[in-house]
A and B are shown apart, each in its own frame.
Chain A
Amino acid sequence: MSHSQAEVTQAEASGEFEPRIVAFLCKWCSSAGSDLAGVSRMQYPSNATPITVPCSGSVSPMYILSAFKKGADGVLVSGCHIGDCHYIEGNFLARRKIHLVKELLGFVGIEPDRFRMSWVSAAEGAKYSNVIKDFVEDLKPLGPQNKMKADRS
C-alpha cells in the first residue's frame, strides 16, 4: 500500500525514533500561528499532525487520553494566550481542565514531557515552530509511548 510506505520511510530513513504527535490547535490563534510559520517558511520537524479545533476550551480530556490510547507519543494542546481567546474565556476553562489532565498523567507515571500545552497567538509563527521543535527534542529520548497505547493483539 502506497500510503503507508511514505510513513515507513520516514522512520526508517533516519533510523532514529520519530515521535508521533497529535497537536490540537485552536482555529483562531494557534492554527493561524502555524499558518504564519508556514507563510514565513520556518522549518520545523514534521512529527506533529495538527487537528484544528474551534478553541482550546473545546478540547475534552477525552481527546487527550484517546490520542495516547491510540498510540500518540506526545500530545499538544495549543490555544490563544490568556485574555486573547476568540471566544473570550475558552482558554481559561481549558487551562483549568488541562492542568488536571497534566497532573493526572504525571501522577500515574506518564512522562510529563509527553503532554504539552502552549499558547501560540496568530502572530507567533516562530513560537509555534519552536514549540514543535522543542517538543520533538524532548520526546526523542523518551522513545515510543506504550503505557497507554492500546494493545489489541
Chain B
Amino acid sequence: MEKILGKTKIDDWVAALSDHPQEVGRGCKAAEAATTTHWQVSAPVLEDGIWSYQSGSGSVQLEHSNTTQPPKGFSFPQREVFFSFEQIKGEPPKLTQKLPQATRHAVFGVRPCDGCGAVRMDKVFSDHVADTYYTARRSNVAYVGLACNQPQGINCFCLSVGGSPVSSDGMDVLMTDLGDRYFVAAVTDTGKALMAAGNSVFSEPTAADRKQLQQTHAEAIAQPQRAINNLDAAPAKLKASFDSPLWEELARACIGCGVCTFLCPTCHCFDINDENTSATPIKGNRVRTWDNCQFPDFTMHTSGHNPRESLGSRLRQRVSHKFQYFHENFGMPQCTGCGRCITECSVGIDIVNVVNKVAEHAG
C-alpha cells in the first residue's frame, strides 16, 4: 500500500489511530485483550534540549534529528517486572506473573537505523527461545519510519553497515519527506492496517510522486557518510585481533560509563534482581533492568574474578559483539550505524574509528 499524505494532514492520521481501535498484532495472546485498546501514538519531541519519543500530544511534527534514545524501550523497557512474590512465614511463596499491559504503540518518525535496530532486537529475543515479555510488547508496537533525506548528524554511517538512509527494515510503514507531503508506504500487514485506519487522509500517489520518491532516495543514498572501510572483512579482522594490545590503547580514555550501550538501538543486555517491598512477609518483585557490558561488574564472578576486567576488554566486547559475534550468529552486523555511541561518548571513543583502526592493525 503506497499513499501520499499532506504534511498538514499527519495529525488527522494520528487522530484516526488514536480513535479507532484496531485488531492487529503479531498473533500474540495479549492481542486478544487488546482489541479494544487504541493506538497510542508516540513521536519525537524536543524537550530539555534532546529529542525523545513522547506520546499523547496529539500533534506530530517530524522535523527531528534522531532521538537521543532509540525506540527500543517500547518493546524492551529499561525496567520490566517479571512477577511478584509473597512469602508468609512458614508458607510456600506465591508468585504472580506480571505480563505487560497491552498498550499498542504506533511510533512515528523512526529513522531507518533504528528500524534496523528492531530487526536485530527481534533476533536476540526470539533466538533459542522467545522472550515472554519482549514478545508481548513487541507485538503491540508498530514503527512508522521516516527515511533520512540527509544524514542526521556527522556521525551517521548506516551505509557502511549494510543499511541505508531509506531502508524499511524493521518498519511497519516507511514515510519519505517529499517537501510538502510524505510518501507513505506500508511495509507489513500491521502497516497496512495503520494506513487503513487513516484511510481518507491519504491520497493516491501520482507518477510524479513516485519519481520524486526515487530521486529523493537516490540522493539520500548518495549523501556522504562516515565509513567503515571493509565491513565484510571486519569479523575476521576482529577475530584475529582478540589479543591485540590496541584495545587497551583505544579504550584509554573510556570512562566506562555505558552511555554508548544504553543509547544503542541494539544493545540488549540486562540484569535481573529482586526488589523487595516488605520484609515480613517477604514481598517484592523480580525485575529486569537494562545492564551494560561497559560496567565493570557486568561479568564479574562472585569470586572477584572478572573475564573482562579492563576497559580494553570491555570495548572489545562491545565492538566485537556488534561486528563479529552477532555476524557469526545471525549473519549481519549488529550495529546499524546510528552514530549515537560516537556522538554521546563524552571522551570521543568512536566505533567507526575503532573498527577501522583494528582492521588496519590486523593487516
Q: Is the CB of B88 within 8 A of A152?
A: no
Contact segment of B115-123, B163-171, B277-285 = B277-285
Q: Is the CB of B281 within 8 A of A152?
A: no
A1 at the interface (CB under 8 A from B): yes
Kindly identify, within residues 249 to 278 of chain B, every residue whose CB is under 8 Å from any CB belonging to chain A: 275-277
Taken residue by residue from 272 to 306, chain B's Cβ proximity to chain A (1 for < 8 Å, 0 otherwise) reads as 00011100110011000000000000000000000
Q: Give complex CA distance A153, B81 in Å.
A: 8
Q: Is the CB of A1 within 8 A of B88?
A: yes
Q: Give complex CA distance A3, B285 in Å.
A: 23
Q: How far is the CB of B178 from chain A (nearest CB, A)?
A: 46
Q: Give complex CA distance A150, B283 in Å.
A: 14
Q: Give complex CA distance A152, B275 in Å.
A: 7
Q: How far is the CB of B274 from chain A (nearest CB, A)?
A: 10
Q: Give complex CA distance A34, B280 in Å.
A: 28
Please give the residue numbers on chain A whose beta carbons come within 8 Å of chain B beta carbons, in ascending order. 1, 3, 150, 152-153
Q: Give complex CA distance A3, B280 in Å.
A: 10
Q: Give complex CA distance A147, B326 in Å.
A: 42
Q: Which residues in B have their C-beta under 8 angstroms from that of A3?
A: 280
Q: Which residues in A have their C-beta under 8 angstroms from that of B280?
A: 3
Q: Give complex CA distance A104, B320 in Å.
A: 44
CB < 8 Å neighbour of B281 from A1, A150, A153:
A1
A sample of 11 inter-chain contacts (CB < 8 A) reads A1-B88, A1-B281, A3-B280, A150-B277, A152-B275, A152-B276, A152-B277, A152-B284, A152-B285, A153-B81, A153-B285
Q: Give complex CA distance A3, B88 in Å.
A: 12
Name the residue on A nearest B89 (C-beta). A1
Q: Which residues in A have their C-beta under 8 angstroms from that of B81?
A: 153
Please give the residue numbers on chain B whose beta carbons come within 8 Å of chain A beta carbons, in ascending order. 81, 88, 275-277, 280-281, 284-285
Q: How far is the CB of B288 from chain A (nearest CB, A)?
A: 14
Q: Give complex CA distance A1, B89 in Å.
A: 11
Q: Give complex CA distance A150, B281 in Å.
A: 18
Name the residue on B nearest A71 (C-beta). B277
Interface centre among A3, A150, A152, A153 (most CB of B within 10 A): A152
Name the residue on A nearest B281 (C-beta). A1
Q: Which residues in A have their C-beta under 8 angstroms from that of B281?
A: 1
Q: Give complex CA distance A153, B280 in Å.
A: 17
Q: Give complex CA distance A150, B287 in Å.
A: 14
Q: Which residues in B have their C-beta under 8 angstroms from that of A152?
A: 275-277, 284-285
Q: Give complex CA distance A3, B279 in Å.
A: 13
Q: How far is the CB of A63 from chain B (nearest CB, A)?
A: 17
Q: Which residues in A have their C-beta under 8 angstroms from that of B275?
A: 152
Q: Which residues in A have their C-beta under 8 angstroms from that of B276?
A: 152
Q: Give complex CA distance A1, B276 in Å.
A: 19
Q: How far is the CB of B346 from chain A (nearest CB, A)?
A: 25
Name the residue on A nearest B285 (C-beta). A152
Q: Which residues in A have their C-beta under 8 angstroms from that of B277?
A: 150, 152
Q: Which residues in A have their C-beta under 8 angstroms from that of B88?
A: 1
Q: How far is the CB of B81 from chain A (nearest CB, A)?
A: 8
Q: How far is the CB of B188 from chain A (nearest CB, A)?
A: 34
Q: Give complex CA distance A153, B275 in Å.
A: 10
Besides A3-B280, A152-B284, 9 new A-B residue pairs in contact (Cβ under 8 A), listed by A number: A1-B88, A1-B281, A150-B277, A152-B275, A152-B276, A152-B277, A152-B285, A153-B81, A153-B285
Q: Give complex CA distance A152, B283 in Å.
A: 11
Name the residue on B nearest A70 (C-beta). B277
Q: How far is the CB of B80 from chain A (nearest CB, A)?
A: 13
Q: Which residues in B have their C-beta under 8 angstroms from that of A150?
A: 277
Name the residue on A nearest B88 (C-beta). A1
Q: Which residues in A have their C-beta under 8 angstroms from that of B285?
A: 152-153
Q: Give complex CA distance A150, B312 in Å.
A: 37
Q: Give complex CA distance A3, B278 in Å.
A: 13
Q: Give complex CA distance A153, B277 in Å.
A: 9
Name the residue on B nearest A3 (C-beta). B280
Q: How far is the CB of A51 from chain B (nearest CB, A)?
A: 15
Q: Give complex CA distance A45, B280 in Å.
A: 25
Name the residue on A nearest B84 (C-beta). A153
Would you list the 9 A-B pairs with minimal beta carbon distance, nearest first? A152-B275, A152-B277, A152-B285, A152-B284, A1-B88, A1-B281, A153-B81, A3-B280, A153-B285
